A = this chain, B = another copy of it.
Amino acid sequence: MILPQHEQCSCRCIHQDRIDHAHEQALAPRENEQLAALFKAMGDPNRLRLLWALTGEEMCVCDLARFIGVTESAVSHQLRLLRQLHLVANRREGPVLYYRLDDAHVGELIHLALEHLREDK
């Protein structure tokens, strides 16, 4: 099979068997994108600070805004993202919404990554 020139790889060191194997083992595209979205959501310094804070105790939007030092609007946008990805959940008490981590995995993920960070180097 001859590829059009612009799609050709200039080198000739290709292990076709490994590429095939990688394709067979690969995650379904949809799942891969969801997984990437999850990591990306955790990959913002402010959002990560929010998640870490919520490993402690539940907090309302106003608290969280003060804590990370941005407007409530900004936190609200971020919390929506985290909510859509099932990283946080909330409960209403009158006009106040209290946010918490959605489940234990979130905290575990952070701890595991922290372990990786602290080990090497």
Docked CA distance A109–B49 (Å) = 19
Q: Are A67 and B22 in contact (CB under 8 A)?
A: yes
In whole angstroms, what is the CA distance A18 to B50 when docked?
A: 13
Which residues on B sit within 8 Å (CB–CB) of A2? none
Point out the residue from B10, B39, B113 that lies within 8 Å of A48, measured CB to CB: B39
Contacts of A13 in B (CB 8 A): 60, 62-63, 95-96
Q: Is B42 a contact of A39 with CB atoms below 8 Å?
A: yes
| Secondary structure type dominating chain A contacts | helix
Shortest distance between the CB of A103 and any CB in chain B (Å): 7
Q: Which residues of B contact A67 (CB under 8 A)?
A: 19, 22-23
Scan residues 18-39 of chain A and give those whose CB is less than 8 A from a CB of chain B.
Answer: 18-19, 21-23, 25-27, 31-39
The complex places the Cα of A114 from the Cα of B95 at a distance, in Å, of: 35
CA distance A106 to B52 in the complex (A): 20
